[in-house]
Amino acid sequence: MSGPGARRRLLLDRSAGEARGVVLLDGRPERLLLAREGEPPAMEPGDAAVGRIRRMERALGAAFVDLGGGPDGVLALSGAAARLSEGQAVAVEVAAPARRGKGPALRLTGAGEGAPRRLTPARDIRERLQAFAPEETIVEGPAARDAADAAEEAALAVEHPLGGGASLAVEPTRGIVALDVDVGGFGGGFGSGDARRTRARVNAAAIAEGARLLRLKGLGGLAVFDLAGGAQDGEAVLAAARKAFAPDEPGVAYGPVSRLGVFHLALPWRSAPVAERLLDPDGRPSARTVAQRIARAIEREAASCTRVLARCAPDVALAASELRQALVERLGPRIDIAAEPGFAREAFEVRPND
């Protein structure tokens, strides 16, 4: 829960080809930032650019804007934007980041001039991380790697324990993020008492955890909590939600609690979903993600041997070979990467090869 006494710590893990920034909230991961060599930094909300209108879709009330790279941005044709025409240069600001299958949402700021280009310099991962807790010192080293590994695992998990047998499942769908609260067998971690009070304590914990996990996973839009039990104390639920989602303000819209115990809210999109950075559309870790895991395993193994062999699936071996130069710069030319056609995408082996 993010109350007045909540403390945030910042950690930064750097490995060959990738940097991962982690914000811990009271010891648990709240944000995971990723920066990969060879991948352009995403445009963030508030970033400014000059674009050129590639296509007008007046029936949809939208213009598609060439930003000079990446997916076209989407500009709503309202107000002054309704008078624009195809081919026109426009000055815009990012309102919401790009997601899989969707370009960034834009707002018009004025007339543009020249070729499409980014106006706001991309912040490096250290600057982005520091902004979450300006007074905190950023920690690097083994503790940062452990924290980043744990944050990555949690960001990709569906079910999250709440204690006492209770759990929270977080599952994004095409239109909403569903958060299902399960009291479990006893709710033992939430004290004794009648069932209604136990459910109320579980629901309060689930709302606090849900807020943290949505930030960790980089999810926004419509979120729906299916709370434990039926009828709820709507005022208590709303108070718990306002406290838990305070770090996401401004822009959070709270709905009522239904008589079936369903609570809706809408969150602004502040980042692309972490899963889209780490997984392919089929839900498997991408070849690059597995290659980064191999790179970290090679760095660990190289500390205790003179030569290291990594065996992995062919597409992962190709991605890992693109990280080889960065590994050589760190460890020297003592790395072998072998493609194994029989290996599944997620499977790999890293061992001494002396």
DSSP secondary structure letter of residue 271: S
Q: pLDDT tens digit string along 243-255?
A: 999 999 999 999 9
pLDDT given for residue 353 in this prediction: 87
Distance, in Å, from the CA atom of 309 to the CA atom of 352, rounded to the nearest integer, reads 6
Q: What residues contact residue 101 under an 8 Å CB cut-off, 6+ apart?
A: none
Mean pLDDT of all residues in 120-141? 95
Asked if the peptide bond before residue 250 counts as cis, ω within 30 degrees of 0, the response is yes
Please report the pLDDT score of residue 233 as a whole number.
Answer: 82
CA distance 210 to 33: 19
| pLDDT band at 174; cut points 50, 70, 90 | confident
For residues 289-309, give the mean pLDDT. Answer: 94
pLDDT above 50 (res 187)? no
Whether pLDDT at 143 is above 80? yes
Altogether, the residues listed in the chain come to a count of: 354
Global confidence as pTM: 0.91
Tell me the two tokens of residue 297: 């395993």
Per the DSSP assignment, residues forming a β-bridge with 96 are 105
Residue 1 above 50 pLDDT?
A: no
Burial 251-274 (b: 16+ CB within 10 A, else e): ebeeeebbeebebebebebbbbbb
Are 147 and 23 spatial neighbours (Cβ–Cβ below 8 Å)?
no
- Distance from the Cα of residue 95 to its chain's centroid: 17
Strand partners, 161: 167
Residue 337 has a pLDDT of: 95
Q: Within 13 A of 51's CA, how many CA atoms are on the CB side?
A: 31
Residues 336, 307 contacting (CB under 8 angstroms): yes
Give the pLDDT confidence score for residue 65 in this predicted structure: 96
pLDDT at 4 over 90: no
Q: Does the structure show a pLDDT above 60 at 210?
A: yes
The whole-chain average pLDDT of the chain stands at 92
Q: Is residue 27 classed as helix, strand or coil in its secondary structure?
A: coil
Pairwise CA distance, residues 292 & 315, whole Å: 13
Q: How far apart are CA 313 and CA 338, in angstroms?
A: 8
Which whole-number Å values give the CA distances from 318 to 287, 292, 352, in the listed order? 8, 12, 20
Q: Say which amino acid occupies 92.
A: V
Which DSSP category does 277 fall into? Answer: H
CB 70 within 8 Å of CB 40: yes
State the maximum Cα–Cα separation within the chain, in Å, rounded to a whole number.
Answer: 69
| pLDDT at position 30 over 60 | yes
**Cβ distance 168 to 159 under 8 Å?**
yes
Report residue 197's pLDDT band, with 50, 70 and 90 as the boundaries: confident
